[in-house]
Amino acid sequence: MKKLHIAFIIFVLISCIFAGCNIIPNIPDNYVEPDEDSVSEIILPTVEPSKTNAPAPSDVQPAEIQTPKPSEEQPLPSHENSTAEKKLPEDGEYNSKDDVALYIHQYGKLPSNYITKREAQELGWEGGSVENYAPKKSLGGSRFGNYEGLLPEKKGRLYTECDIDTIGKRSRGAKRIVFSNDGLIYYTEDHYESFILLYGEEKL
């Protein structure tokens, strides 16, 4: 590199001599010739990669989807729960299904207006309604055999029957209440063809 620089200066001087000019390059006193190594080194600016700001995770929690719970079925009120609030006088007279069933449930016996078939026969009754022989009385107290087996059987269990809605009627009709000596009370409106449990629990 130095040789090239010196040759360039000599060339300029010779050119000026022949051209008749006195042009000498003005070289500053503090001129420092560039080093070959420094010239060859080219420092390129470093470019830092741009930082992409990733979105911060959201602090908002996703809304919970509440699945509606199936509505809970409420048990239907039983006949026992719906009528047990009424306390019947023990000396009262009753002949309707609800009153007679409740009376038996509360006192374990038939109301005083019921008479047995033997008592009715002593008054001259031979069958049918007792209205002409014992006004305002009803038949009840006979054993019910449960021969068809429609009611649950249990050792020591006995069933008793009584007429329903017969006061003032000319016939006994088909309505009966059949109750056991351990708390079961049934109602039939088709003369023992089918039964509805009014009180107690059927446990075999």
Query: For 104, phi and psi rounded to 5 degrees?
Result: -60, -40
Q: Measured between alpha carbons, how far is 29 from 12 in angstroms, rounded to an integer? A: 19
Q: DSSP characters for 132-179?
A: TTSTT-EEEEEEE--TT--S---TT--EEEEE-S-TT-SS--S-EEEE
List active site positions.
161, 191
Alpha carbon 195 to chain centroid, angstroms: 33
